[in-house]
Structure 1
Amino acid sequence: MVQIVPPGVYYAVPLVDTFRKVDLRVRTVEVPRQSVITRDGVSCSVDAVIYYSVVNAAAAICNVASYANSTFLLGQTTLRSVLGQVDLDTLLAKRDQIGEEMRKVLDKETESWGIRVSNVEIRDVVLPSDMIRFMASQAEAERERRAKIISADGEFQSSQKLAEAAAVMQREPMTLQLRYLQTLAQISAENNSTIVFPLPIDIFKALARNAESSPVSNAVH
């Protein structure tokens, strides 16, 4: 007859009664590093930590010889089984999701032992050195691709602005002359030197037309 009693002082009849103390606190099991082959054929080493507690002391004592050792061994096999169904990218990016899947599997298997698995964490993933070099080169190529896309996008936007400016200058020829004079003013301000430059003939034509049409010139004639 199995009887579960709360904490306290009890008397046991020698050679008749036996008692076992069961710790109901949360316990941890460190699953040592396991060699795993992912779904895409990559070999890696993974370790994990399992958090569990006893919720049914009678089942933990009567239904399994050693619930602690059984949970440890089950964690090893479950780790290899679950990780063999995912690819490497998923393993590296979704550790929490994989840990939750492992927790559900372990919790279901240990329910008859009076065990509740509260959490499973994938602690470390060790990759072969050649795979690390390959991933580094792949990441570098991806960064270069993004940099080229950003540079090409900037050149495209710049060409659009230049085309718009050229269209404005084509409609208004004087804007080109004003821009020319502005550039010369900037050059003279930056360098303290004498600059000799050709003056566009269009400016003289415009000045001549203004002089001919002014009232002063008409009075002289």
Structure 2
Amino acid sequence: MKRVRINAGKVGLVFKKGDYLRVITQGKHWLGFNQRVLMYDLANTFVAPVALELLLKDETLKAMLDVVEVKDGELVLVYEKGNFKTVLTAGRYVYWKGLIEREFVRADLSKIYITEKIDKSLFSNYELSKYIRAFEVATYEKAVLLVDDMYTKTLDGGTYRFWRNDTTIKIAKADLRQLQLEISGQELLTKDKAAIRINFYTQYKVTDIEKALLENKDYEKQLYITMQLALRAYVGAYTLDELLERKDNIAEAVFEDVKASATKLGVNVLNCGIRDVILTGEMKEIMNQVLVAQKRAQANIITRREETASTRSLLNTAKLMEENDMLYKLKEMEYVEKIADKIGEITVAGNGNIVTQLKEIFSGK
């Protein structure tokens, strides 16, 4: 016989020749011949020294234990004194009761939605996060949820979490803000085979996310092609001169053409516009030559108009001089004055009348 003492917070299991006999708690106990005791701390998990089924036949010991069975496809979250402690995966776990208050939250991983009462702050915990799939949808976005490639529902902005399992989960997102599509450097041929480049833009918004993402593949590319074809059709219907005259109408015409097609893509086209119409290579040089020729022709017209006006003025003056001798003499003196301004020196000989000699000099007699 020997006596053992079990302190507070401890438990002892008594064995005799390897067979379990009983459990002893705080206090002094006598052990018989060939009996021994295994001491356990109630704050730690319980690791059975023999098959657990044998120990659980003792109702006293069974009442002192929490046995947690975790099946495949399950998780159990362990809380101690209200605080998260760990995650239990498939297997069997045994805890002592009494000293530490524990709570066990069971989660079914075969589901996709997290319906269990789990604080959001734990989703970033590594032990738990590896069993969770998370998707972010911005406030300016919407998304479609696909479960096993089947449309399930439309998601607004937010964070969505699902259990990680064999079920395939995907989301497809679309930006609901006003967007702009650029068609830059688009080379096109006019009706008269003139090559031009157009920089074109379109502003649009996604209005039907299911139609845009589920009924159409790459709706943005399809919208681009639709705009490109409409632009090509419009430009190809006019000669270069006609197109340059009507370039302000291109955006409006393309806008009207693509509205119906864009609606089928789940998109609302808001407006269209042209940044530049660029003539390429030789065509640019030819147009420059045409412009120079036009300006020269305009300059010649103006010159001829001025010459005609000047001639008409001279004719009118001549008629007046013919009818009025005094006006003729005044005009003659005016020209003499103009000629004299350009002569540096005049020599007069003899004793004749000076005025008469000057008149003869300037009149050429």
Normalised by the length of structure 1, the TM-score is: 0.73
**Pairing 1:24-103 to 2, within 5 Å after superposition:** 24-103=176-255
User: Gaps spanning 5+ residues in structure 2: where?
Assistant: 1-150, 348-356, 361-365
What is the match of residue 197 of structure 1?
358
Say which SS state the counterpart of residue 110 (structure 1) adopts.
helix
- Name the SS of the counterpart of 2:181 in structure 1: strand
Q: Larger RCO: Structure 1 or Structure 2 (Cα < 8 Å, ≥ 6 residues apart)?
A: 1
Identical pairs, percent: 23
Instruction: Answer with 122-131 or 137-146: which moved more.
Output: 122-131
- Is 1:150–2:311 an aligned residue pair? no
Write out per-residue CA displacement over residues 164-199 of structure 1, whole angstroms, 9 at most, x where no aligned residue: 212221221210101212332344456553375326
Q: Deviations over 1:10-58 (max 9, x none)?
A: 7566659865433122212222444422112223343422222123334
2:217 alignment partner, SS class: coil
Higher mean C-alpha deviation, range 170-179 or range 47-56 = 47-56
Counterpart of 2:196 in 1: which secondary structure? strand
Q: Is the 8 A contact 2:195 2:283 kept in 1?
A: no
| Structure 1 pair 187–56 and aligned structure 2 pair: CA distance change class (3 A) | same
Give, as a single letter, the amino acid of the residue that structure 2 aligns with 1:182: E
RMSD of equivalent CA atoms:
2.9
Displacement of 1:129 in angstroms is 2.8
Asked whether the 8 Å contact 1:26–1:51 carries over to 2, the reply is: yes
Q: Give me the whole-angstrom Cα distance separating, in 2, the residues matched to 1:25 and 1:54.
A: 8
- What is the distance in 2 between the residues matched to 1:158 and 1:82? 50
Counterpart in the other structure of 2:66: none
In structure 1, what residue type is equivalent to 2:284?
Answer: I
Local SS of the residue matching 2:359: coil
Q: 2: CA distance between counterparts of 1:12 and 1:23?
A: 21
Matched residue type, 1:99:
A
The answer (yes or no) to whether the contact 1:12–1:18 under 8 Å persists in 2 is no
Contact 2:185 2:199 in 1 (8 A): yes
Q: Quick one: which amino acid aligns to residue 171 of structure 1?
A: E
Aligned to 2:28: none
Call closer, same or farther: CA 1:87–1:176 in 2, change over 3 Å.
same
1:31–1:189 Cα change, 3 Å: closer
- Segment of structure 1 superposing worse, 15-24 or 86-95: 15-24
Q: Does 1:118 align with 2:273?
A: no
Gaps of 5+ in 1: 200-221
**Gap change, CA 1:59 and 1:168, over 3 Å in 2:** same
User: 1:139 Cα shift?
Assistant: 1.9
Distance 1:88 1:197, change over 3 A: same
Structure whose CA Rg is larger: 2
SS in 2 for 1:135: helix
Contact 1:95–1:121 (Cα < 8 Å) also in 2 = no
- The amino acid of 1:198's aligned partner reads K
The code of the aligned residue for 2:358 comes to F
Which residue among 284, 298, 311 is the counterpart of 1:132? 284
Deviation at 1:76, TM superposition (A): 2.2
Match of 2:325 in 1: 173
Distance 1:2 1:110 in 2: 25
* Greater Cα shift, 187-196 or 39-48: 187-196
